[in-house]
Structure 1
Amino acid sequence: MLFDSQVAFIGGGVMGEAIIKSLLRSGTLQPAQITLSEPNTDRRALVSDQYHVHAYADNASCAHHADVVVLAVKPQVMDEVLEDLRGAIRPEALIFSIAAGISIATLREGLGGHQHIVRAMPNTPAQIGQGISVWTCTDAVTDVQREQAIQILKAMGEEIFVEDEQYLDMATALSGTGPAYVFLFMEALIDAGVHMGFSRPIAERLVIQTIRGSIEYAAASKLHAAQLRNQVTSPGGTTAAALYQLEKGAFRTVISKAVWAAYERSVQLGKKK
């Protein structure tokens, strides 16, 4: 399991740091069990100093002795990263990738036929242990390695396993990118509050607690979203007037198109160059 494993993080960006932070916060790993590679000198020093993990400038040195290698890099640089790691990873090590759109087949080929691979799609709330991740793995992944993957994912929040890898691109568009949709909606609501006359701090407080409370209520009630919306909507009332404008502005259609665009982009990123 992870408590006696060495875990290498390739990439010290936002999500790489989020996973490191979650694993340390939960007590799943200790700093001595973690290594990090990050090409940006300032970023490497920042993450290393903050979490007391050993950091490298090159990927191969970081991953050489690891039991689990977490690929937390942007999909656009994955080819270069895989070239660095090819031949440097132990044959029995678990590869754990969170790169959007990069298929298991691409990872396997780029690493010279490596078989033990998990592909996962977490999201930003993982930074506070409130994320959700969709993941899958190759048949070669052992029971112990599956448990290692689950421990990593549960340190970040909830996890859902899927047999078919195609669901990863769907998850990228829905839950992986999802926080950005929510943040944009929050921004629009806050700006509307300011436009009406609230100070920005009060508008922010109203919006954040309204969304937080709505989410908690929805989770507790177990009702369909449409039923919850109807509970708030009185005939001829203020909510009905607001919803009319959202529907008139094709709110649902725009959201659907946005998610579909993210899905298509995820698929596109995974295609061979």
Structure 2
Amino acid sequence: MPASHNQHDAKTYSATLIGCGKMGSAMMASWLENGLVSRVNVIDPSPLPVHLSDDPRVYYYPSYQGGIPTSDILILAVKPQILKEASQKIANDINDKTVLLSIAAGQRLSTLESIFGSDQPIIRTMPNTPAAIGKGVSVSVANTHVSLDQKEIADTLLRASGEHKWIKDEGLMDAVTALSGSGPAYLFHFIETLADAGEKLGLDADLSMSLARQTVIGSAALAEYDGGISAETLRKNVTSPGGTTQAALETLMDGRFQTILDEALNAAKKRSQELS
């Protein structure tokens, strides 16, 4: 038995994970590392990586079969396109004491209720990829059948991967998807374009990319370190009147950058609505 189970103040849960791709495996690794689970049943056709399969708390099944022990929480970490197919077999065996948590993009609570039953406790969650290193942010909405205890289970497991927020209005999930769900890709593209701009000023490609990456990494770390200070204040702190930063910001803040971001987030929101 892992040492973490001997800590009397630490609650552990049993979980069933359907789908163990990048996000599913990253989430599970964080639960195991933090001693949050006593058992995880993993259902995925692909064999597990060794660092997960060797853990005595992990029980692997290449496909769903009857007789898999019931869990406190069942996590659906499959692509939206195969959600129904992956869920149908297990839907008959799941009881209403198990809370279902879905991270399938764009799949509404009503869709999940049509598969698992209208009285099933269900949580819909939108995580993002930095969850893989414990720096993610996820946002959840629950249906009316989810109890406070079940919310606590979800909250505990999701916080192992970063920050976790609850919202009451499911209609906001498309906006959440557009901002934080897809957001990491915008930042990576910003690094690319910043490096391209540096190259155009005469820097060689490797140096320019290195400077762009580390500037974004360092600035994000500074924003985290000074969590109580607004982004506006952090920006003003590095902007000397009449200096180089101010000259650049006058161009960046002329409205075009904001317009492009507005258009990008609206496109992502629209696609999220179409997926559901």
TM-score band, normalised by shorter chain:
0.7 to 0.9
Q: Report the 3-state secondary structure (helix = DSSP H, G, I; strand = E; otherwise coil) of the residue aligned with 1:100.
A: coil
Q: 1:14 aligns with which of 22, 29, 32?
A: 22
Bigger share in helix:
1
Identity %: 39
C-alpha distance in 2, partners of 1:226/1:154?
A: 27
State the Cα deviation string for residues 98-130 of structure 1 (Å, max 9, x = none): 112111111011113342111111111111111
Q: Is the 8 A contact 2:47 2:62 kept in 1?
A: no
Partner of 1:26: 34
| Structure 1 residues 123 and 63: CA distance shift in structure 2, 3 A | farther
Question: 2:137 is paired with a residue of what secondary structure?
Answer: strand
CA distance in 1, matches of 2:212, 2:66: 46
Number of the residue aligned with 1:262? 268
Q: Is contact 1:172-1:263 (8 Å) kept?
A: yes
Shift of 1:146: 1.2
Q: Secondary structure of 2:164's partner?
A: strand
Q: 1:171 to 1:46 in 2, by over 3 A?
A: same
- Equivalent in 71, 82, 94 of residue 89 of structure 1: 94
Q: Distance in 2 between matches of 1:250 and 1:70?
A: 41
1:208 aligned residue (203, 213, 217): 213
Structure 1 runs of 4+ off > 6 angstroms?
none
> Does residue 124 of the first structure (1) align with residue 125 of the second (2)?
no
Q: List per-residue Cα deviations over 1:58-93 (Å, max 9, x = no partner).
A: 245596633311011112222222323320222321
Superposition pairs for residues 220-231 of structure 1, below 5 Å?
220=226, 222-231=228-237
Q: Are 2:239 and 2:246, in contact at CA under 8 Å, matched by a contact in 1?
A: yes
- 2:3 equivalent in structure 1: none
Matching residue of 1:102: 107
Change (3 A) 1:77 1:61: same
* Secondary structure, counterpart of 1:6 in structure 2: strand
TM-score normalised per structure 1 = 0.84
State the Cα deviation string for residues 159-209 of structure 1 (Å, max 9, x = none): 111121122222111111111111111122233344532451x44442333
TM-score when normalising by structure 2? 0.83
1:164 to 163, 166, 169: 169
Per-residue Cα deviation, 1:202-234 (whole angstroms, up to 9, x for no partner): 444423332233223334164443443344344
Partners of 1:37 and 1:62 lie apart in 2 by: 13
Indicate which of 170, 177, 184 corresponds to 1:179.
Answer: 184
Gaps of 5+ in 2: 1-8
**Structure 1: runs of 5 or more not aligned:** none
Separation in structure 1 between the aligned mates of residue 59 and residue 19 of structure 2, nearest angstrom: 13
* Alignment: residue pair count: 262
RMSD: 2.6
Which position in structure 2 is the counterpart of 1:253?
Answer: 259
Does structure 1 retain, via aligned residues, the 8 Å contact 2:119–2:145? no
* Residue-by-residue CA offset, 1:23-54 (whole Å, 9 max, x unaligned): 11222125xx1121223xxxx2143x330233
Going from structure 1 to structure 2, the CA distance change for 1:62 and 1:263 (only over 3 Å counts) comes to farther
User: 1:71 and 1:194, CA in 2 relative to 1: closer, same or farther beyond 3 A?
Assistant: same
> CA–CA distance in 2 between the matches of 1:221 and 1:45?
40
Mapping of 1:71-86 within 5 angstroms?
71-86=76-91
Measured at CA, do residues 255 and 59 of structure 1 come closer, stay the same or move farther in structure 2, by a change above 3 Å?
farther
Tell me if structure 2 keeps the 8 A contact 1:10–1:36.
Answer: yes
Distance 1:174 1:120 in 2: 14
**In the aligned structure 2, how far is the partner of 1:160 from the partner of 1:221?**
16
